[in-house]
Copies of this chain bind each other. A is one copy, B any other.
Amino acid sequence: MNSLSDPFEATENERLAQIYTAAAELFCEKGFDGTSMSAVAEMVGITKAGIYHFIPGGKKDLLFAIMSYGLDRLDTHVITPAHAIPDAEERLRSIINNHVRLITSGSKTGGHNPVTIVVEEVGGLSPTHRRKIDQRKRVYVELIRDTLKQLKQDGKLQAVDETVAAFSLLGIILWISRWYDPDGRLSAEQVADEIMKLALGSLLRPQTQQAHH
């Protein structure tokens, strides 16, 4: 997707990784329009002109790169593992668990992570970039919806609309970053367990629910 592979964790191109990390943090904190290039530069420790030496495309390309990275993380940690699971119920459990942990673990590393930025700030993208981002998001939604449809074919799904159920599940998960406090009463594991209980409780038919360890 990006010309550079995983810029956030690169050991070479250290400056580039610093820029992406700083921009991601500031975009999450103050929003895309509320963050200036000078602010990003200051956090990295160089001049604004220095930023444009590494990011020739400017601010919009920065946003696109960060969103792409967030979706890359979703791909590797949630979507790809899910594709390897044939059983629908097991796949749904995997999706919920991995996505919740992706968000809660991200908020532990000093605030916000690039995974949550993808949701908002789509307006700051160029039409071409926006189409790419939107399509990747749609792929994820369809993964969830297809899993629910398969669950229905297996006779395990309650009498609910799959589309509404898929979006509701997404709403629960994406909302976590707004209220979860890693130093609070509940650990990330507890939150993941509770979300799992809630989601499966409303989706699976009672007789098919079974305890999981």
Q: Given A167-B179, A175-B167, A161–B123 Cβ distance below 8 Å? A: no
Asked if B171 contacts A176 (CB within 8 A), the reply is yes
A29 at the interface (CB under 8 A from B): yes
A158 at the interface (CB under 8 A from B): yes
Question: Please, which residue of chain B has its CB at the minimum distance from the CB of A30?
Answer: B123
A120 at the interface (CB under 8 A from B): yes
Which one of B31, B172, B174, B202 lies within 8 Å of A201 (CB-CB)? B202
Inter-chain CA distance A159–B193, complex, in Å, is 12
Name the B residues within 8 Å of A198 (CB-CB).
160, 164-165, 168, 202-203
Asked if B123 contacts A29 (CB within 8 A), the reply is yes
Q: Given A167-B175, A167-B179, A161–B31 Cβ distance below 8 Å? A: no
Inter-chain CA distance A124–B160, complex, in Å, is 39
Q: In residues 134-164 of chain A, which contact B (Cβ within 8 Å)?
A: 158-161, 163-164
Inter-chain CA distance A32–B120, complex, in Å, is 13
A206 at the interface (CB under 8 A from B): yes
Name the B residues within 8 Å of A32 (CB-CB).
31, 34
